[in-house]
Structure 1
Amino acid sequence: MSSQTLLDYIRTSTSVTIDVDSNDASIAKPLAQNKLFCDMTSNQALVYAEVVKPENSDLLQKAAGWARDNKLDVSNDADALKIIDHLTTLLGKRVYPYLTGRVHAQVSPAFADSKDKTVEHATRLVKLYGEGDNAIPKDRICIKIPANQASIEACKELEEKGIRTLATTLFSVPQAVAAHQANCLYVAPYFNELGVHFPSEAAEWMGYGKDTATKHPMAAVIRSVVLTFRKLHSKTLVMPASIVTPEEVMALVTLEPDHLTISGGVLNKMNDPQTAWSESDLAPSNIQVPEISLEELAKIDYLDGHSLREAIDADPETRQKLADALRIFDEREKLTKEFLRKELPKY
């Protein structure tokens, strides 16, 4: 066992960049003492988890004042979303000092099938990050957007406007190629389906130990995305997400992505000197995946209004995982609205 922690070793001795998948500054701060994180990723579930914490009541007070100043009514659905957006950016600003890269925010899943609404919401989130105390410049912001037909087309429009995007809820190579065609900054293939993080969901996590890189069903997909992007000379970076254990982190490093975004719980385990690992655990994988020729890749324009939708519909597993992720994020957004309607009038 090395004297370094797994976290320190990956940061200093591999080509993989570590991002923090949390809106909690108290997680980022201690883990950034030796080396700052690059990006901070976010989503509706992470925002909800922070908003309801009693120790974050100061954020509710700020949000209540901001809502009054902007004449917003939390009982109105559109106004409630704007208040959530404000809270999302307040949380991101707290983590920002521990980053060298970008803060993220995720567009509402309710807009996933509307290019125009997705563009509008993403633009508003960037504007909010750039306002008020501790304003964050546009070039330090990235907006997370679902990898379905309308939303990927929104990514292309946003990228043309200079707003960087990440294609999330991604489970397949066609989704990744579509994001490349839209010039997204990142793709975030989910290693585990989103439901494994929620006890109320039917999804069950399965561990593969030392065989994770060869036996986990998403390992081959992520390796295929990495190799496909190399073949395309793509500038879009691969940032796997939805990681449950340090063993999964080690397996993912062997697949040679550009980034990994990791939750506070897993980061803490990686930073624990008692977590067992060896350099050989992180050697590049020899996992074999089907090759896709450039001719095949050039055949399909996934931004043509229907081809990505057809590819997702033809893949029952991707279709179900994408639908489940959007549903879970939508439920968390609704729970945040319910919480704000109950709590904001107290401030």
Structure 2
Amino acid sequence: MAASNLLSYVRATVTVDVDSMDPAVAARHTSDTAKFTDMTSNQAIVCGEASNPDRASLLAEACALAAKKDTGDIDLQVDNALDILTVLLAKQVFPYLTGRVHAQTAPAVAYDAEGTVAHAKKLLALFEAHGIDKSRVCFKIPATPESIIACEQLEKEGIRTLATCLFSLPQAVAASQAGCLYVAPYFNELRVHFEPGVWKEYANTAQEHPMSPVISSIVKTYKAIGSKTLVMPASIVTSTEAVALASLRPDHLTLAGGVLDQLAAAQSPAEGADNPKPMYPQVDLQTPPAVVNGASENGPTVEKTDFLANRADALRQALAADAEATRKLADALKIFGEMELKTKDLIRKQLSGL
């Protein structure tokens, strides 16, 4: 059947996931023939839902459960209410998924492998307590050297992970070596969603956007090394970006409600009854990956580097040599930390009224 709109067109090319904890978004773009696989989330998405008056009952429920369990320790109640709220929000979208719900570990432990493992396990216990099996859960973990080590440990224990806040090929190869189920290279740095003027439009997004060659190299390198880790680009602002990214041949795209709405409202390019005209030429996966992230040392040898040895020392060195990836990673963690604090403030006010 011909793709009737751009969302159908993109879904015919790549698996589409929902980057939202709003069940109305998932419902709006689900049908008998079109379903989402996974739902992704992060501290900013949780904050947005916690601030929504329509989700006030979930915030109240999370706070009541935390207060009942942890009487007397307000800081512990706040932390636990945040985790419970994350699970309750995910549970609302879960019926629209064929795959997994994703929750992101705390930015405060992004440089603490043991802390990241502990938070993932705490969240997993809450998911299971609320009826979502371990097999349907994945944890988004920022791709710092320490947290990639955490991913490796969690994967060995059968807990699936996604390496997020990812801006470079070395981060992606390290995540593959750790056994991550997914990597989520950010197409745009996180700040574009919060600060006007940061986002930039390109005449030919697939060729001119600075992250296009990075993502293309990740896809091609994974194919060359036979990686089982799936590529799921994230931080996508427009329908044009979504279509351009589909041409780079990732495995998944995770799309926010606004982008999904744009795609659904736009007509698919037509060529023949059952063959929509491609808007961008599909990337040839047989072509060697371009050299990205700064020089030949990250080209021919990156796939042979053991990024996990010596507590991920090679990844630490690669990030130290890549100022832009390091800046974007640090900024994303800063923003996620700020969003988490805003949610905790809402929770603390709710708890004070109990």
Fold agreement, TM-score > 0.5: yes
Partner of 1:300: 306
CA RMSD of the aligned region, Å?
Answer: 2.0
Residue 190 (1) aligns with residue 186 (2): yes
- Answering whether residue 300 of structure 2 is matched by residue 323 of structure 1, we say no
Say which of 228, 234, 253 aligns to 1:241.
Answer: 234
Q: Which secondary structure state, in structure 2, belongs to the residue aligned with residue 304 of structure 1?
A: helix
Given candidates 245, 250, 275, the residue that maps to 1:252 is 245
Gaps of 5+ in 1: none
The match for 2:212 is 219
Contact 2:206 2:280 survives alignment (8 Å)? no
**Counterpart amino acid of 1:5?**
N
Measured against aligned partners, the alpha-carbon deviations of 1:284-319 in whole angstroms (never above 9, x if no partner) come to 036984267775522333342221111111100001
Corresponding position of 1:138? 134
Most deviating of 65-74 and 117-126: 65-74
Contact map agreement 2:3 2:268 (CA 8 A) in 1: no
> In structure 1, what is the equivalent of residue 34 of structure 2?
35
Aligned pair in 2 of structure 1 residues 99, 138: CA closer, same or farther (>3 Å)?
A: same
Count of paired positions: 338
Q: Deviations over 1:226-275 (max 9, x none)?
A: 00000110000000000011110111011000000000000011111457
Look up the SS of the partner of 1:225 in the other structure.
Answer: helix
Aligned to 1:19: 17
* SS of match in other structure, 2:278: helix
Pair 1:266 & 2:264 matched: no
Separation in structure 2 between the aligned mates of residue 17 and residue 154 of structure 1, nearest angstrom: 27
2:125 partner letter: K
CA–CA distance in 1 between the matches of 2:67 and 2:289?
55
- 8 Å CA contact 2:166, 2:185 repeated in 1: yes
User: Take 2:241 and 2:66, find their aligned partners in 1: how far apart are those partners?
Assistant: 42
Deviates more, 1:328-337 or 1:51-60: 51-60
User: Partners of 2:71 and 2:189 in 1: how far apart?
Assistant: 35
Structure 1 residues 73 and 315, CA gap change in structure 2 (3 angstroms): farther
Distance 2:125 2:283 in 1: 42
Instruction: State the TM-score, normalized to the length of structure 2.
Output: 0.90
1:30 positional shift:
1.6
* 2:172/2:218 contact within 8 Å kept: yes
Distance 1:317 1:273, change over 3 A: closer
| Separation (CA, whole Å) in 1 of partners of 2:307 and 2:107 | 24
Contact 1:238 1:258 in 2 (8 A): yes
2:199 to 182, 194, 205: 205
Identity across the alignment (%): 47
SS in 2 for 1:113: coil
Unmatched segments (≥5 aa) in structure 2: 271-275, 292-297
- Report the counterpart of residue 86 of structure 2 in structure 1: 88
Inter-partner Cα distance in structure 2 for 1:299 and 1:273: 44
Q: CA deviation at 1:61?
A: 2.1
Partner of 2:295: none
Q: 1:303 to 1:72 in 2, by over 3 A?
A: farther
- Please, which of 338, 342, 346 is the counterpart of residue 349 of structure 2? 342
Q: 2:221–2:289: 8 Å Cα contact kept in structure 1?
A: no
Q: Distance in 2 between matches of 1:235 and 1:197?
A: 31
Q: Deviations over 1:187-245 (max 9, x none)?
A: 00000000000037xx6111114x11110000000000000000110000000000011
- Separation in structure 2 between the aligned mates of residue 94 and residue 231 of structure 1, nearest angstrom: 39
Distance across 2 between alignment mates of 1:36 and 1:45: 24
Distance in 2 between the 1:32 and 1:301 partners? 40
Q: Provide closer, same or farther for how the CA distance between residues 72 and 271 of structure 1 changes in structure 2, counting only shifts above 3 A.
A: farther
Q: Quick check: 1:67–1:73 contact (8 Å CA) kept in 2? A: no
> Which residue of 2 is the match for residue 4 of structure 1?
4
User: Of 159, 174, 177, which aligns to 1:178?
Assistant: 174
Relative to structure 2, which stretch is displaced further, 300-309 or 160-169?
300-309
